[in-house]
Amino acid sequence: MALIALAADKGSPGVTTAAVALAAVWPRRVLLAETDPAGGDLVYRSAAAHGGPLNPNTGMLSIAATARRGLVPDQLWDHVQPLSGGLEVLVGLGVAEQAAGLAGLWPTLGHAFASLADSPNAPADVIADCGRISGDTPAVELFPHASLVLLISRTEPEALARVRDRAAALSGKLHGGPRGAASLNNPVIGVVLVADPGNAAKLAGQVNDMLVHAQTGARVVGTLADDPAGAEQLAGRRRGRLDKSLLIRSARKVTADVYQQYGAAWAAQAQAQQAHAGQPPQGHGAGR
């Protein structure tokens, strides 16, 4: 159904944690792709399904050679590793210098990610952790292929000012100009706030008003709980009932709201694209 790209403007608001949390509760089969050109984190923080470490050479690094010869969406699964909890992951680069091997391939990857949902063999949505996108990071070349770009932000005034300006800049680049409200033109630009659950709803309303007033073309699509304990559990560094954590509970609400808001439009768009290509609509199994 969709490629969902997560990114941040600056700092460390928790893009990887947000990506893993959303992927863990996504209602359909999902592939989590670490596409940060600066390097991935999961190989250091997560265990593989067999109990040992993830293989850093299987993922974005191994896919580079394949993609240069063309990339069929189903080939992505050849480079995927399951985490101990079952989440399927395309492990990121080890260091920023390895990003040179992906030069010129980002649009190819973006197309493959976006097309995986319509695979006749193993359909899945893709959640891409793009890291920080300030500067000239090539990860933004994935965005034109995305259905939704989510900017992750904390709630300090400077962070909110940066996400407002970044959203406006992305809207200009991807949509051709500012908009007074979020548009269903792909990709939709959304903001997810990492906030104290006690005042998250009030903050979300205020920030959404700011985004609309500034004609950024973006809107707040939800909030994730600022939950350090839950983040530690998600990373496997702390015991506890992860499904009861504030982080996972808030992630469930974000995914439900995203699907309620955009899911029908994405499905209709996918069917229209298939009809245009002369393909029968593909059925998708239920997610977790």
| Each residue's pLDDT tens digit, 173-210 | 898 855 544 444 679 999 999 999 999 999 999 999 99
Residue 64 has pLDDT above 70, yes or no: yes
Longest dimension (CA), the chain: 51
Residue 24 has pLDDT above 70, yes or no: yes
Give the 3-state secondary structure of residue 103.
coil
What local confidence, expressed as pLDDT, does residue 1 receive? 60
Work out the pLDDT band at 280, boundaries 50, 70, 90.
low
Q: Where are the alpha helices (DSSP H) in 118-177?
A: 157-175
Which one-letter DSSP state was computed for residue 283?
Answer: P
Residues 6+ apart with CB under 8 A from 229: 238, 240, 245
Cα(286)–Cα(103) distance, integer angstroms: 36
Per-residue pLDDT tens for 245-270?
999 999 999 999 998 888 777 666 66
Listed as own residue / partner, the contacts of 177-185 with beta carbons closer than 8 Å and 24 or more positions apart are: 178/215, 178/216, 178/217, 179/215, 179/216, 179/217, 180/212, 180/215, 181/212, 181/217, 181/219, 182/217, 182/218, 182/219, 183/217, 184/262, 184/265
Two structure tokens written together for 107: 């649009």
Per-residue pLDDT tens for 207-245?
999 999 999 999 999 999 999 999 998 887 888 788 889
Residue 75 has pLDDT above 60, yes or no: yes
Average of pLDDT values for 90-106?
92
What local confidence, expressed as pLDDT, does residue 185 receive? 61
Q: Following CA atoms 119, 125, 131, 136 in sequence, which dihedral angle do they give, to the nearest 10 degrees?
A: 50
What local confidence, expressed as pLDDT, does residue 177 receive? 59
Give the 3-state secondary structure of residue 79.
helix
Residues 6+ apart with CB under 8 A from 222: 190, 192, 193, 204, 250, 253, 254, 257, 258
What local confidence, expressed as pLDDT, does residue 240 receive? 77
What local confidence, expressed as pLDDT, does residue 265 receive? 72
What local confidence, expressed as pLDDT, does residue 243 receive? 87
Of the listed ranges 32-36, 81-85, 107-111, the one predicted with least confidence: 81-85
Two structure tokens written together for 15: 């893009």
What local confidence, expressed as pLDDT, does residue 12 receive? 79
Mean pLDDT of the chain: 88
Whether the CA torsion 266, 270, 276, 280 is positive or negative: it is: negative
Per-residue pLDDT tens for 121-138?
999 999 999 999 976 789
